[in-house]
Amino acid sequence: MTDIADAPTSLRREVATSTARVLGRGLLMFAVTLVVVTVLWQVLLWAFGVNAYVGKGPADIWAFLVTAPATPENRDLLLGRLWVTLGHAFIGFAAGLVVALAAAILFQLNRGVEHALMPLAMLLRSVPLVAMAPVITLVFGRDLWTVAVIGGIVVLFPALVNIVFGLRSASPQMTDVVHVYGGSAFTALRKVALPSSLPAFFAAVRISVPGAITGALLAEWLATSDGIGGGIGPAISQSKFPEVWASVVLVTAAALILYNLMQVIEDVALTRMGMHPLKNV
């Protein structure tokens, strides 16, 4: 890992150029993703011959959110629900990621704990969350505790696997050097394993973002009855199909934006730290 502050001017200039290139590439990929998703959406509606009363295309949603007479009311309603969903997603994301990081560190320091708890974690992962959600709701109630638990479960397992893999990828030679100089297992973790696991940690953060939104939608649908997840059910029952499709579009766009934002932050941070191969960016 390169210390950019102490690097020669030429290397700092090269890193700055690579950072700008990575940022531009991330923004370009985000724009391409939006175009591809929009085109694919319209093509699938045509290909499957979906009835225009039920299936709404990009132009319909644009009219519903931008040009229709009731646009301000539509936007206020759906954006208000979206902010609630994003708040719930953040709660689940933070809960799951913190628990995953703490568990991964504990597993790294004590393999006995990992052997005892990892099978239990895998067993819980195999149970469909929809089946567990009613029990979670009964135990924690219909409030933010349930949101945190359901969202945390969705985020926890993929993040845990990625972070554990990252911690295990640390160089054994560097770990041995720490031990030779009298460093403890915690010192080796702090000096070697955690810095080496940053790419895996960023990957865990990136893949956890869509999972946290999914968990928030599930919690809203089954427990809190607010946000996007709580609003889609009544809209379907009342045949408010433009509202349904607009809700899906907004939450999908939010997931894409946040995912690509995490990707850009990851690429820029790893490039600035010298952990991103400059020749590839």
pLDDT at 245: 94
* Stronger pLDDT, 241 or 268, i.e. the higher one: 241
Q: What are phi and psi of 274, to 5 degrees?
A: 75, 15
Q: What is the pLDDT of residue 13?
A: 72
Q: What's residue 173's pLDDT?
A: 82
Instruction: Answer whether residue 244 shows pLDDT above 70.
Output: yes
pLDDT over threshold 60, residue 155: yes
Report the pLDDT value the prediction gives residue 69, as an integer from 0 to 100: 85
- pLDDT per residue over 178-233, tens digit each? 878 787 878 888 888 888 888 889 989 988 999 999 999 999 988 888 899 999 98
Q: How far apart are CA 10 and CA 224, in angstroms?
A: 55
Q: Which residues contact 93 (CB under 8 A, 6 or more apart)?
A: 151, 155, 208, 209, 212
User: What pLDDT sits at residue 84?
Assistant: 94
Confidence of residue 14 (pLDDT cuts 50, 70, 90): low
Tokens of 218: 């599930």
State pTM to two decimals: 0.84
- The CATH fold assigned to 69-270 is MetI-like fold (1.10.3720)
> What is the C-alpha separation between 160 and 167, in angstroms, rounded?
11
Give the pLDDT score at 281.
41
Q: Which residue has the higher pLDDT, 106 or 17?
A: 106
Query: Residue 130: what pLDDT?
Result: 80
- Can you give the pLDDT at residue 274? 66
In sequence order, the 6+-apart residues with CB closer than 8 A to the CB of 26 are 260, 263, 264, 267
Please tell me the predicted confidence (pLDDT) of residue 77: 92
**Is 80 exceeded by the pLDDT of residue 120?**
no
**How much is the pLDDT for 43?**
94
Q: What is the pLDDT of residues 51-98, one digit of tens each?
A: 989 999 999 999 999 888 888 898 999 999 999 999 999 999 999 999
Task: Collapse the DSSP code of 21 into the 3-class scheme (helix H, G, I; strand E, B; otherwise coil) and give the result.
Answer: helix
User: For 207, what's the count of Cα atoms within 13 Å in the CB-facing half-sphere?
Assistant: 15
* Mean pLDDT to the nearest integer, 153-175: 86
On average, the pLDDT of the chain sits at 84
